[in-house]
A and B are shown apart, each in its own frame.
Chain A
Amino acid sequence: MSTADQLSAAFSALADPTRRAIVARLARGEATVTELAKPFAISQPAISRHLKVLERAGLISRGRDAQSRPCRLEVRRLKEATEWMNRYRAHWEASFDRLDNLLTDMKQEKTHANGK
């Protein structure tokens, strides 16, 4: 998957409130499906489906223990998503620097035009 596709998968996965809550829970430490299902009014199979989406997006990984398969957060992918956000901020800051320069130029151009 390209970086853009990976980000897209991460963003899609995180668009769901239940999955966001799961991610928030896993930020506090590993948990099993049973533990994750507890605070939600949905079944374990439903939680498992959410976990699959998160796993495919690379946001979580599952342990090998066949019984409990504890889930853990993949911090790197989460960081990528937030860094992507920060780039947007940087984009605006840089664009506004350029807008500042352009406005100075525009003012000068208008002064010249009016001075004729």
Chain B
Amino acid sequence: MQTGNERTQNPELHLSRVFDAPRSLVWEAWSKAEYVKRWFTPAPLTTPRCEVDLRTGGVFYLVMKMPDGLELPMDARFVEVVPQERIVFSATIHGGVEVHTTVAFSDEGDGKTRLDVHQVYSHESDATRGAPQGWKATLDQLAEVVRSIR
């Protein structure tokens, strides 16, 4: 059971950006591996492998390569895909921490597009208890704790 307190916690990671391009073009940049390769991995990391099957249940796999040669794979799956509206993908990292990412597309007028990214962290044990919200609240709380003792 979730407590009311946990449910009202702010999302873990939320950021937005407005792009000077129409929605169809921004969607295209997400929908093809050749494009995703060119933007998803921040420099100086490179993307030696990238697979994007942008549909519900599709694979979102990429390997990010660090300058020292270390490869960091991201093995995600698209949980929900609504063309030019919404992309939800989920990946498991660090042995059991699940990262659930929602990207919402919206028009900003003048041919501009806004992306809202909302990233939630849950843990397998939380999920099996039916309380994935608990984890997303955790790091907000931790951030507060760290600030208070700094």
What is A's interface to B at a CB cutoff of 8 Å?
A: 4-5, 7-8, 11-12, 14-17, 20, 23-24, 27, 73, 75, 78-79, 81-82, 85, 88-104, 106-107, 110
Contact = CB atoms under 8 A, between A and B. Distances in A.
B139 A16 contact: no
Contacts of B75: none
B148 interface: yes
Contacts of B26: 99, 103
Contact of A11 (B40, B43, B96): B96
B139 A85 contact: yes
B38 A12 contact: no
Interface residues of B, number: 42
A106 B139 contact: no
Contacts, number: 113
Contacts of A82: 139, 142-143, 146
Nearest to B122: A15
Contacts of A98: 38-40, 42-43
Given A11-B94, A85-B12, A85-B13, A99 B29 contact: yes
A15 B95 CA distance: 12
Given A15-B125, A20-B141, A96 B17 contact: yes
Interface of B: 12-13, 15, 17, 19-21, 25-26, 28-29, 35, 38-43, 94-97, 115, 117, 119, 121, 123-126, 131, 134-135, 138-139, 141-143, 145-146, 148-149
A100 B19 contact: yes
B15 A92 contact: yes
A27 B145 CA distance: 6
Contacts of B40: 95, 98
A108 B35 CA distance: 15
Given A79-B146, A92-B117, A107-B21, A15 B123 contact: yes
Contacts of A78: 142, 145-146
Contacts of B123: 11-12, 15
Contacts of B39: 95-96, 98-99, 101-102
A107 B135 CA distance: 40
